[in-house]
Amino acid sequence: MTVYAHDPAASVIVATWPTGDGTVAARVARVPRDWPAVHARRTAGLLTRLSELLWSAYVEGEVTEIRAFRLVEAVRIPTFPVTGPPESPEDDRERITQALGRIVSAAPGRAFADAVAREVRAEIGAVIDADLGRLTGRAAQAVTHVRIGVPAEQLALAHRLLHDDPLEARALLSAVEPTAAAIAALRWLRAAAAHVSTVVGHPVADVVALAEAIDHEDLLVARHVLKPEYGRGEPLDDTELVRDLLQEAVLAARGLFVVCPDTVAGDGPEHRMLRTVLDPAEPGPFLVDGLLRGIQGCFRVYADELTSGDTDPEPVPELRPRFTAAVRKVVRDVP
């Protein structure tokens, strides 16, 4: 979501939002001279809360329920306070914009109120763009939000970026929704690990251990997803596995714990608690980054195998295109 703050030194309201590979800042409005700082901070706080509700609609697939014109008009022409508890997310959004309208209407002149109304319109527009798959500008922050759906065009874009160069596909973090990016990256990681496994003569699970030993790097995500079995049941397909991992992290971020029943022979049902291997604060980028680092780890094992102990080793840069071509072939040939 977009976070707003009052900069008292410059006397402005500023907005910041994540992009997957950093944070962008922009000036929203100049605070009127001699206007109390507490009002400016209150304005920033209300804008932040509204952004949280708007992006929540994106995550839940409810963007079409956002009444953009009504929300912007509530800032421009506020009405009396609404009483009673909110009955829907739309009620919450309208309450926030009504509160915004009342506070900015107290500012001298119209410039500040107009700027805040434009900002509300811009934030709504970003959420709508993200819902349509246009992840540019402010809508790029969609890459930090996890939602259930996997748009086909986003999945195709992720595979195209990985096909171009699986070792340098960092654009997955800033140009593709995290669920689609992770599903594609997982397939390419499996392909890379399978190919390297045949080269070094070790099981796939050992490839990650070898990569960790070479650079003393903890490849937790790659190690987890390449286990022979995920959890204690049958192996899940890539889409199910990614969704499970992300769901566990989202629930953890909300302070919830997932307890699954287990049947222990002779002892009756028992329970175990699932723990997330992702960062609950930003599970999407964490998962995608972990998968990409796993692919790079596979290449390190591949390069180490083909260069160590050789009297005339081939230069590592020349191994990259050979590795990439081999991984592309595995992705293409394996359903």
Q: What is the DSSP string of 74-142?
A: HHHS--SPP-S---SHHHHHHHHHHHHHHHHTTSSSSHHHHHHHHHHHHHHHHHHHHHTT---GGGGGG
22 burial (CB, 10 Å; 0-12 / 13-18 / 19+) is: exposed
Strand ranges across the sheet with 23-30: 3-7, 12-18, 23-30
The residue ranges of DSSP E strands in the chain, in sequence order, are 3-7, 12-18, 23-30, 258-264, 268-274
Looking at residue 281, its pLDDT comes to: 86
Looking at residue 67, its pLDDT comes to: 93
Looking at residue 83, its pLDDT comes to: 52
Encode burial over 156-169: b for 16+ CB neighbours within 10 A, e otherwise: ebbbebbbeebbeb
Q: How many whole angstroms separate alpha carbon 46 and alpha carbon 102?
A: 11
Record the tokens describing residue 61, joined without a space. Answer: 């697939």
Q: What is the pTM of this model?
A: 0.84
- Cα dihedral angle (225, 228, 233, 236), rounded to 10 degrees? 50
Looking at residue 249, its pLDDT comes to: 87
Record the tokens describing residue 265, joined without a space. Answer: 């022979």
Looking at residue 232, its pLDDT comes to: 45
Beta carbons of 290 and 283 less than 8 angstroms apart: no
Looking at residue 310, its pLDDT comes to: 59
Q: How many whole angstroms separate alpha carbon 15 and alpha carbon 3?
A: 6
270 strand-pairing partners: 262
Residue in 52, 91, 53 with CA at minimum distance from that of residue 70: 91
Residue in 176, 187, 165 with CA at minimum distance from that of residue 299: 165
Binned average pLDDT, 10 residues per bin, the chain of 335 residues = 95 93 92 93 96 94 92 87 54 91 91 96 96 91 88 93 95 93 96 94 91 91 82 67 89 71 52 74 93 96 82 71 95 86
Measured CA angle at 50 (ends 143, 101), to 5 deg: 145
DSSP 8-state assignment for residue 314: P
Encode burial over 276-287: b for 16+ CB neighbours within 10 A, e otherwise: bbbbeebbbbbb
